Homo-oligomer: A and B are copies of this chain.
Amino acid sequence: MDLADLAARVERKTRIAVSSRDMERVLAALFASEDMWRIAELARIPLLALCAGLRALAAAGWVRWDTGLIRLTEDGERACALLGVAPAPTLDCPRCGGRGVETSLLRDVALAFHRVAADRPDAAQEFDQGHVTEETTIARVAQMWRHGDLAGKDVLVVGDDDLVSVAAALTGLPQRVTVLDVDPRITSFIGKVAKRESLRIEILSHDLRAPLPPSLARAFDAFACDPTESLPGFLLFAGRGLSALRGPGGAGYLGLTHAEASLSKWHAIQRQLVTWGAVITDLRDGFHAYVNWPYVETMRGWEHLPVRRVPGRREPWYRSALVRVELVTEAGVDLGVVEGDIFLDDEASTT
């Protein structure tokens, strides 16, 4: 039994692209933790592939979890030594958590943001929501500022359970902040906050399966979104965002996970972004940390977990990369009306 066999077995089972390198990432994570959610965070492969991978490793006698802790067996440790699989150290900078960005200039904004976000709506399964920590939203806004995509700019937020529009408006820097969301709880919450805090935020209720209202096409300098991660769903968010940009030099911020997207899916996404005329200017893995959503036990991945423990709300394991793209040509996006479910593919686990 080698890693390529295991990977092929998992791939057949899950219909998710899994390489022997992915299996190696699972084993390296097992050196670092015995906890289901920490392993999920460290392994950086789709959660459903991880679950199937752990079962395949258990069938090979390399892993066991009868105590509730997920552990390499002696056979597993021997196999790792033979295969040259070594623990990977966590080398995130302790000050910025590996994000690289300093947020102290935004301290007052962060304080105000914590205050207004305290009574935000809970994440809703219906819209595949799951919001990032408040600290993450501030870091994302700092990243936009640093890149010149905030001050004096027209910014569109495409789907905003992360409340990026609120944090961006609280800085007082953008010229225009517009939000699109399909969830009336989100649009009405942002509306109330904007009124109370005297923030100029333009709020539109919009289902992204329909093209953008003509008034928003080619009207913005930057957009931010945290797409659902089925391949068509992700590309729908990204494509709508790009078509809202004025043209070359316009920038987009996207979140992309490993938990629901294999590197093959990342590859398909990047191919499409490049074809649409966008270049990736930054890709910071693990930048966004998520607050655990209240529907963990009814999400698709739950039944697949070898160890079923509900993670604490503020015990982040689900992370996503921050991807910044910039148009180098006019956006060549040609997306009409899209029908049906945009949330589901083989790799989705949190819908």
Contacts and interface: CB of A to CB of B under 8 A. Distances in A.
Contacts of A17: 328
Given A100-B92, A101-B92, A328-B19, A282 B284 contact: yes
Contact of A145 (B24, B91, B100, B282): B91
Nearest to A88: B148
Interface in A240-294: 248-250, 263-264, 266-267, 270-271, 274, 277-285
Interface in A103-151: 103, 105, 142-143, 145-148, 151
A102 interface: yes
B283 A249 contact: no
A76 to B, nearest CB: 16
Given A20-B249, A267-B279, A282-B284, A152 B95 contact: no
A58 interface: no
B102 A100 contact: no
Contact of A100 (B98, B142, B153): B98
Given A88-B151, A93-B93, A266 B281 contact: yes
A86 B248 contact: no
A22 interface: yes
Nearest to A93: B96
A340 interface: no
A95 B101 CA distance: 10
Nearest to A267: B279
A50 interface: no
| A-B CB proximity, top 4 nearest | A21-B249, A84-B152, A86-B151, A93-B96
Interface of A: 17, 19-22, 24-25, 28, 84-96, 98-103, 105, 142-143, 145-148, 151-153, 173, 175, 248-250, 263-264, 266-267, 270-271, 274, 277-285, 326, 328
11 contacts: A21-B326, A84-B153, A89-B146, A90-B146, A91-B102, A91-B145, A93-B93, A94-B95, A266-B280, A267-B277, A267-B328
